Amino acid sequence: MAYKIITSQCTVCGACEFECPNAAIRLKNDLYVIDPKKCTECEGHFDAPQCAEVCPVPNTCVPA
């Protein structure tokens, strides 16, 4: 149970990185990636996954 980032659509704005309550998102070779081991889809934290809520590009932070 985790989210992933469709890198071809990502603008690399970094909003997801600092909204993630699990510090599961980091910059790797100039692209943001979600660590599936850390991602909880924000369960227990928020009603909806924060990365998908804040992401400016539709369908870019999606269930893996």
Q: Is 57 a residue that touches other proteins (CB under 8 A)?
A: yes
The dihedrals phi and psi of 15, each to the nearest 5 degrees, come to -60, -40
Q: Which of residues 3-42 bind other proteins (CB under 8 A)?
A: 9, 11-15, 18-19
14 or 36, CB closer to other proteins? 14
1 or 47, CB closer to other proteins? 47
In the block, residue with structure tokens 């992401």: 55
Strands 25-28 and 31-34: antiparallel
Residue 58 makes CB contacts below 8 A (sequence gap 6+) with none
Q: Summarize as ranges the residues that interact with other proteins (CB under 8 A).
A: 9, 11-15, 18-19, 46-48, 50, 53-54, 56-57
